[in-house]
Structure 1
């Protein structure tokens, strides 16, 4: 099924672009016909553009073949009707299309551009339509992606506020307005200049509430006409509309669910490639390890806290109750410090942690971190488990009279 002559003909035509206009996509027909009708010929500029597109098309074709063949396990494929393939081929050929140049990167002295996959997943950030506001910056895009990936993981109306790649407020509610109000309460200070994402349409009341704070980017699957009129009074706010209509749920591929199949991180002269952290915890996955059993309400709070912790930089500690975050501790070298910071954040926001649920993205290596969250009011905790000191931590939970469940899954996010 590998074509030889077709790509060779396209390459030869593209090489001779001054004399040949090579069209490789139906979207090019209009421009070619328009110039032929107007001038009887196709301009060199247009022919050169067609040539570049042709080379890119063949490059993508060859790279797809290379990726597929490089992933075949020849030994495992012996006698099999379908070749056995590795998720990590011997050669990885990245194929991306530039969306736009950016004013600068993370800092003004860095240059940057934004690229997308050849075939973007439905509901992903690169499919966004910007309705108003200034041009997106490098940091805007990175933070917007963090907020969008978190908010679309919820099946009920939700709001996520992100600052410097970390959720500083997450909540669910009956509608967008209620979810926003609860999320904002978590950390009003950090929400200043943040990125706000909704997984449900934004109405005028919600837009009015959001407009009272300084926001860099506002995202939602839809906005009412009244909401857009209100937002026009804030012309610098970048408003993005991202449809969630094409996303599928259980049993679908990562792409069909609007998720990346792999994550990539750049290191010195190399790449780290891994399967994406798309694990979704179910109630049936939880293992209660303490004498005290969590109540039904506590179980729901634990699942909510766990979902949020997945999107918080490690080490992550998240206090939650009633479908909202109360305190978030992120990105600390010590889990103990993350626990302390989360409780301090809640105190500064005037939120009580009494009766709260706590999620830790990785196990507690000692009981000290557990004691900190209990001292501040937590009555139930979810953590992966798996430490050589698990018994010490479980005994501490029993001693303090709190419920603890193990998820069996870790969510490091570096």
Structure 2
């Protein structure tokens, strides 16, 4: 029986691969039939909740080649969080980036000269949410970094590599889960397509990605231009925002996220929630850059940002009230850039 199933799985996968290739070549990848074929990596203990079954499937041996379990066992929810954290931490090439996530959304992010500095700065954004969170390190976790991480409870750590000395440090934590990719930096699959299950089917699309020149080519809409550091902060905020659940806004200062509001039903709520949280954490957003993954429909978010001391803003633009947004930014002496590309994430 098992051999029969295996044989049909093999031939079905082969036929699907041919059909998908033909549709990619002649129909732009969107044919009358869409075949999504993954190979099982492992069963998870359960799905999103204990009463659900779950498993991990992979494309093109991505996990088999780039995912090594060092300690513990990845749960269904861990895998979702890991994916989100890795996407953000690896979005800046070889930079020393650290991302902390909870339920798939970032609660801390920073790029610094060393990974230890990056982790310390990332943790400052929201240490409460970071408790029991997932940390992605775009590089090698050393003993020094491990000792710092061990000061709080982190559920999952994934990195390019984790040294033997670091593993010894983590050995004292019974509940921590450790994973590495076996490379000096994190590795992304860079899937070309993306899909989401909806009731009765699924929607299928090109994978979203911020192009390398997207921020560089953003249009200056105000009298004042951003400084080089502000441009760097805008780029970080913009890329993080593109990988954060809509509606979202991200505030970055000196290459570290200092406030984030995500998954809100209104953009001004996201802005105000982020600033309220930053105040509670004792973080000063004066001089920070603000990014939104979609346009600001009203000037209220700009007003709130200006009151907090934000100096530069990047957003797609495209609102019927863009003139009011530009006027508000000029009024407050802010620099405002339009990328003209929206990055909703639902």
The interval holding the TM-score normalised by the smaller chain is: over 0.9
Q: Cα–Cα, structure 1 residues 353 and 246, in superposed 2: closer, same or farther, change >3 Å?
A: closer
Determine if the alignment matches structure 1 residue 173 to structure 2 residue 105: no
Deviation at 1:138, TM superposition (A): 1.2
> TM (normalized to structure 2)?
0.94
Q: 2:88 maps to what in 1?
A: 150
CA distances 1:32-69 after superposition (whole Å, capped 9, x unpaired): xxxxxxxxxxxxxxxx5544433222111111223334
Q: Cα–Cα, structure 1 residues 157 and 246, in superposed 2: closer, same or farther, change >3 Å?
A: closer
Contact 1:161 1:169 in 2 (8 A): yes
Contact 1:68 1:89 in 2 (8 A): no
Q: 1:339 maps to what in 2?
A: 271
* Aligned match for 1:300, one of 185, 210, 232: 232
Alignment of 1:5-404 (within 5 A): 49-69=2-22, 71=23, 84-117=26-59, 119-121=60-62, 127-133=66-72, 135-155=73-93, 156-244=95-183, 258-282=189-213, 283-404=215-336
Q: Report which stretch shifted further, 58-67 or 232-241.
A: 58-67
Structure number with the bigger relative contact order (C-alpha 8 A, sep ≥ 6) is 2
Contact 1:160 1:167 in 2 (8 A): yes
Q: Cα–Cα, structure 1 residues 193 and 94, in superposed 2: closer, same or farther, change >3 Å?
A: same
Q: Cα–Cα, structure 1 residues 189 and 201, in superposed 2: closer, same or farther, change >3 Å?
A: same
Deviation at 1:377, TM superposition (A): 1.1
Counterpart Cα distance in 1 of 2:207 and 2:286: 35
Determine if the alignment matches structure 1 residue 407 to structure 2 residue 345: no
> TM (normalized to structure 1)?
0.79
Q: Cα–Cα, structure 1 residues 343 and 276, in superposed 2: closer, same or farther, change >3 Å?
A: same
SS in 2 for 1:369: helix
Deviation at 1:85, TM superposition (A): 3.3
**After TM superposition, what 4+ stretches of structure 1 lie above 6 angstroms from structure 2?**
245-248
Q: Which runs of 5+ in 1 are unaligned?
A: 1-47, 73-82, 249-256
Give the root-mean-square deviation of aligned CA atoms: 1.9
Q: Which runs of 5+ in 2 are unaligned?
A: none
Deviation at 1:280, TM superposition (A): 2.2
Q: Report which stretch shifted further, 58-67 or 395-404.
A: 58-67
